[in-house]
């Protein structure tokens, strides 16, 4: 063996001592005069030293393997004992749980030691590693059970105040058909939309599990994460918390409905579910999801984005389930009176959108954010379509028979109460009806058709979108009422009907915040309109009865004597006209009490003054006539009393004849 072979031996041997000996041999051989003898001597010395060194090292390693195996046997026995006992370790007290965690830590150290070991017996090392990993897997499985048990057993009961939480909207009841709308019911049913943005979601965070066990859960999670069992820990958490949130929806009495079921549901049932959806969304997002995210951060906050992904995975499905109901409502066709539920849904979701965006801000939550914005957009489109349907319904509402009594038509009541209720949502409607909004061409094409009908609204720059729309609806209503008035044959009743309905419109505007949207000019103009119709009614209604009380034709132009025959005809004609008016117009109804009194006073002034004057001039010519009471049937006092019976909506007849 030459020096190069010895050098090679030193190079390939792994033991540092062997390498050092080989280097000495190479060095000695390089300076020796008799390399063969020296080589034999040095090799003998090398063999002795190598034998001594290897024996010592092998004995040391044997002792190390034995110690590791003993330690593995010990922890394996402990773990098997824990696993055979089905009672929960953390229920036995802190000493027991600390001992278990120390054992887990010891297993980790053994695995680390074996991984760094340079044992020649690869098979033996691998066997020990396999055993250690099996023991670690058992401990992780047990920790997962303990983690799940603590989560389940320490859930906090749902408190009543959590279920009654309200953040924005109080309920609003709605009318379902034109025939059900009247002033009293709408006043009783309507509760104005209330906004309360002063509270952030953090103010409603509650303890979903007992706070005392949070440190234990956090500790178990850290151990499982360090041991690379983070996926198992997260999956256990997600599964349990998802079930807890589903239980929350059950407590909130949320029924899981498909889109098809919602589309087929009767409105009588659906409108209450919409009301509940608004309430549940507020509670679920601002109480339970906010609290759920807080819980996840408390347990997994040390692991970066893990806490957010656990929260999203546990809650995403349920949020999408709730949003699917809103999606179904948005695509469902709605009659005009359903717009208020749609507006409440829109406002409720719009109010929650910042909370939802914040809760699901991660990429994993993008589907929830996208769906929330999509549902809101579709609800807005549904509001616009429903408002247009309301306008079209007012336009299309035609009658074939005149409205009984000339009173306030149910369409007038419906439209005015509808418009009044819409003003509670002015901010929302101004946004949704904004002409400069995106993709509103279909809306503008419908509105421009109305603008052409009335010059008054061709320059609406001073009005908000909702004000402009309400003004246009008022114009459509007036046109409809004009057509309905033409169904009356009696001209006086035509004016009476328009007087009643326009007066009702004006009074509604004055008594509500509609005035702020229609403006003072509108009020003045329509005040003048109904007063003009009142004058036209009186003129048409009283012209006949007053014609019998004029002087023309009673006296002979040549002799100046009074013609009793003409006088009798005049009194008889007056009596018949009075009785017909009494019979007919006691059945007519003036809804507005002030207008009723004003009409009675105005009629009384005209009729009583004319009758009193006529009686004063001509009654003495019939005093001595036989059957004179057939002609002078009513005194001025009688007439005054009878006129007070008009416009009560109850037809009457004059039976009693009185001498004056």
What is the tens place of the pLDDT at every residue in 186-195? Answer: 333 333 333 3
Give mean pLDDT, residues 559-567: 80
Whether 283 has a pLDDT exceeding 80, the answer reads yes
Which among 5-9, 20-24, 103-107, 535-539 has the top mean pLDDT?
Answer: 535-539
Whether 348 has a pLDDT exceeding 80, the answer reads yes
Closest CA to 639 of 568, 542, 569: 542
Is 48 or 331 the better-scoring residue by pLDDT?
A: 331
Whether 9 has a pLDDT exceeding 60, the answer reads no
Whether 659 has a pLDDT exceeding 50, the answer reads no
Segment (H or E) for 307: helix 306-331
Task: Give residue 162's pLDDT.
Answer: 59
Whether 493 has a pLDDT exceeding 80, the answer reads yes
Give mean pLDDT, residues 220-240: 94
Task: Give residue 72's pLDDT.
Answer: 82
Compute the distance between CA of residue 233 and CA of residue 398 in angstroms, rounded to an integer: 68
Is 204 or 636 the better-scoring residue by pLDDT?
A: 636
Compute the distance between CA of residue 164 and CA of residue 156 in angstroms, rounded to an integer: 17
Whether 205 has a pLDDT exceeding 90, the answer reads no
Is 60 or 653 the better-scoring residue by pLDDT?
A: 653
Q: How confident is the model at residue 85 (pLDDT cuts 50, 70, 90)?
A: confident
Mean pLDDT of the chain: 80
Task: Give residue 173's pLDDT.
Answer: 38
Closest CA to 603 of 585, 580, 576, 583: 585
Which among 87-101, 264-278, 517-531, 544-558 has the top mean pLDDT?
Answer: 517-531
Minimum mean pLDDT range among 89-103, 119-133, 211-225, 453-467: 453-467
Helices within 332-488 (DSSP H only): 339-359, 366-396, 410-422, 426-432, 441-451, 465-485
Task: Give residue 163's pLDDT.
Answer: 60
Task: Give residue 269's pLDDT.
Answer: 87
Whether 518 has a pLDDT exceeding 60, the answer reads yes
Phi-psi map region of 632: left, alpha, beta (phi>0 left; psi -120 to 50 alpha): beta
Residue pair 22/5 in contact by the 8 Å Cβ criterion:
no
Minimum mean pLDDT range among 374-383, 560-569, 641-650: 560-569
Task: Give residue 171's pLDDT.
Answer: 37
Whether 463 has a pLDDT exceeding 90, the answer reads no
Bridge partners for 648 per DSSP? 589
Task: Give residue 627's pLDDT.
Answer: 65
Is 654 or 527 the better-scoring residue by pLDDT?
A: 527
Q: pLDDT digits over 503-516, tens only?
A: 999 999 999 999 99
CA 646, 652, 656 angle in degrees (round to 5)?
Answer: 105
Minimum mean pLDDT range among 22-36, 233-247, 621-635: 22-36
Whether 172 has a pLDDT exceeding 50, the answer reads no
- SS3 label, residue 425: helix
Whether 404 has a pLDDT exceeding 60, the answer reads yes
Task: Give residue 362's pLDDT.
Answer: 87
Is 516 or 438 the better-scoring residue by pLDDT?
A: 516
Q: pLDDT digits over 305-317, tens only?
A: 999 999 999 999 9
Task: Give residue 4's pLDDT.
Answer: 47
Compute the distance between CA of residue 190 and CA of residue 423 in angstroms, rounded to an integer: 12
Task: Give residue 46's pLDDT.
Answer: 42
Q: How confident is the model at residue 185 (pLDDT cuts 50, 70, 90)?
A: very low
Give mean pLDDT, residues 348-370: 94
Task: Give residue 28's pLDDT.
Answer: 54
Task: Give residue 130's pLDDT.
Answer: 86
3-state SS, one letter per residue, for 57-72: HHHHHHHHHHHHHHHH
Task: Give residue 178's pLDDT.
Answer: 40
Compute the distance between CA of residue 6 and CA of residue 50 in angstroms, rounded to an integer: 14
Whether 375 has a pLDDT exceeding 60, the answer reads yes
Which among 150-164, 342-356, 615-629 has the top mean pLDDT?
Answer: 342-356
Task: Give residue 11's pLDDT.
Answer: 44
Q: How confident is the model at residue 3 (pLDDT cuts 50, 70, 90)?
A: very low
Whether 437 has a pLDDT exceeding 50, the answer reads no
Q: Which residues contact 368 (CB under 8 A, 6 or more apart)?
A: 312, 316, 319, 320, 323, 356, 360
Give mean pLDDT, residues 413-442: 80
> CB pairs under 8 A, 24+ apart, for 226-235?
226/108, 227/104, 227/108, 227/136, 227/140, 229/140, 229/143, 229/144, 230/303, 230/306, 232/140, 232/144, 233/143, 233/144, 233/147, 234/300, 234/306, 234/309, 234/310, 234/313
Q: How confident is the model at residue 16 (pLDDT cuts 50, 70, 90)?
A: low
Compute the distance between CA of residue 325 and CA of residue 275 in angstroms, rounded to an integer: 12
Closest CA to 17 of 59, 57, 61: 57
Task: Give residue 6's pLDDT.
Answer: 42
Whether 592 has a pLDDT exceeding 80, the answer reads yes
Task: Give residue 432's pLDDT.
Answer: 92
Minimum mean pLDDT range among 40-49, 400-409, 412-421, 629-638: 40-49
Is 62 or 637 the better-scoring residue by pLDDT?
A: 637
Give mean pLDDT, residues 23-41: 52
Helices within 211-305 (DSSP H only): 214-226, 230-251, 259-264, 267-283, 290-300
Closest CA to 419 of 371, 372, 477, 345: 477
- What's the N-to-C CA distance of the chain in angstroms? 163
Q: How confident is the model at residue 87 (pLDDT cuts 50, 70, 90)?
A: confident
Task: Give residue 655's pLDDT.
Answer: 62
Minimum mean pLDDT range among 37-46, 67-76, 252-261, 340-349: 37-46
3-state SS, one letter per residue, for 490-516: CHHHHHHHHHHHHHHHHHHHHCCCHHH
Task: Give residue 53's pLDDT.
Answer: 40
């Amino acid at each position: 063996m030459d020096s190069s072979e010895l050098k090679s031996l030193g190079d390939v041997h792994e033991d540092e001592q062997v390498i050092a000996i080989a280097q000495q041999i190479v060095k000695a051989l390089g300076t020796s005069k008799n390399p063969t003898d020296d080589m034999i001597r040095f090799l003998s010395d090398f063999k002795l030293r190598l034998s001594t060194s290897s024996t010592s090292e092998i004995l040391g390693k044997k002792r190390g393997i034995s110690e590791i195996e003993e330690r593995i046997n010990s922890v394996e026995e402990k773990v098997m004992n824990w696993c055979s006992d089905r009672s929960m370790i953390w229920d036995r007290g802190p000493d027991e749980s600390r001992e278990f965690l120390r054992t887990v830590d010891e297993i980790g150290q053994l695995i680390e030691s074996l991984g760094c070991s340079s044992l020649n017996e690869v098979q033996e090392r691998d066997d020990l590693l396999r055993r250690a990993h099996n023991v670690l897997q058992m401990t992780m499985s047990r920790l997962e059970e303990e983690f799940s048990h603590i989560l389940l057993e320490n859930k906090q009961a749902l408190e009543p105040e959590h279920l009654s939480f309200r953040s924005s909207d109080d309920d609003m009841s709605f009318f379902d058909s034109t025939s059900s709308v009247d002033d009293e019911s709408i006043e009783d049913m309507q509760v104005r939309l209330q906004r309360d943005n002063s509270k952030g979601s953090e103010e409603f965070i509650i303890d979903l599990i007992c706070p005392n066990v949070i440190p234990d859960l956090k500790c178990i999670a850290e151990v499982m994460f360090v041991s690379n069992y983070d996926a198992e820990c997260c999956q256990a958490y997600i599964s349990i918390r998802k079930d807890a949130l589903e239980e929350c929806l059950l407590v909130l009495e949320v029924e899981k409905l498909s889109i098809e079921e919602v589309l087929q549901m009767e409105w009588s049932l659906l409108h209450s579910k919409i009301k509940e959806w608004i309430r549940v969304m507020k509670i679920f997002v601002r109480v339970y999801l906010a609290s759920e995210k807080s819980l996840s951060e408390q347990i997994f906050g040390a692991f970066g984005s893990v806490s957010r992904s656990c929260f999203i995975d546990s809650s995403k499905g349920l949020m999408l389930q709730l949003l699917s109901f809103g999606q179904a409502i948005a695509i469902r066709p709605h009659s005009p009176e359903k717009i208020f539920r749609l507006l409440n849904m829109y406002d409720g979701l719009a109010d929650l959108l910042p909370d939802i965006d914040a809760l699901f801000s991660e990429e994993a939550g993008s589907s929830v954010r996208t769906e929330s914005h999509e549902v809101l957009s579709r609800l807005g489109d549904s509001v616009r379509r429903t408002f247009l349907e309301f306008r079209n319904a007012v336009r299309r509402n035609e009658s074939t028979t005149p409205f009984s009594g000339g009173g306030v038509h149910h369409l007038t009541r419906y439209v005015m109460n509808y418009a009044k209720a819409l003003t509670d949502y002015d901010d929302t409607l101004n946004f949704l009806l904004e002409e400069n909004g995106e993709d509103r061409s279909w809306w503008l094409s419908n509105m421009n058709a109305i603008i052409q009908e009335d010059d008054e609204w061709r320059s609406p720059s001073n009005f908000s979108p909702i004000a402009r729309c309400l003004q246009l609806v008022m114009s459509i209503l007036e046109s409809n009422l004009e057509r309905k008035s033409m169904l009356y044959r009696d001209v006086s009743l035509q004016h009476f009907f328009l007087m009643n309905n326009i007066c009702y419109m004006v009074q509604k505007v004055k008594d509500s915040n509609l005035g702020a949207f229609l403006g003072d000019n509108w009020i003045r103009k329509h005040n003048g309109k109904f007063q003009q119709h009142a004058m036209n009614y009186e003129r048409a209604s009283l012209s006949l009865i007053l014609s019998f009380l004029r002087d023309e034709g009673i006296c002979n132009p040549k002799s100046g004597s009074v013609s009793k025959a003409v006088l009798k005809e005049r009194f008889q004609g007056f009596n018949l006209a009075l009785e017909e008016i009494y019979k007919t117009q006691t059945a007519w109804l003036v809804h507005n009490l002030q207008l009723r009194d004003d009409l009675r006073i105005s009629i009384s002034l005209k009729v009583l003054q004319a009758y009193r004057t006529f009686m004063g001039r001509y009654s003495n010519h019939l005093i001595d006539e036989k059957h004179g009471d057939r002609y002078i049937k009513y005194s001025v006092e009688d007439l005054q009393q009878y006129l007070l019976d008009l416009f009560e909506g109850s037809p009457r007849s004059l039976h009693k004849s009185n001498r004056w």
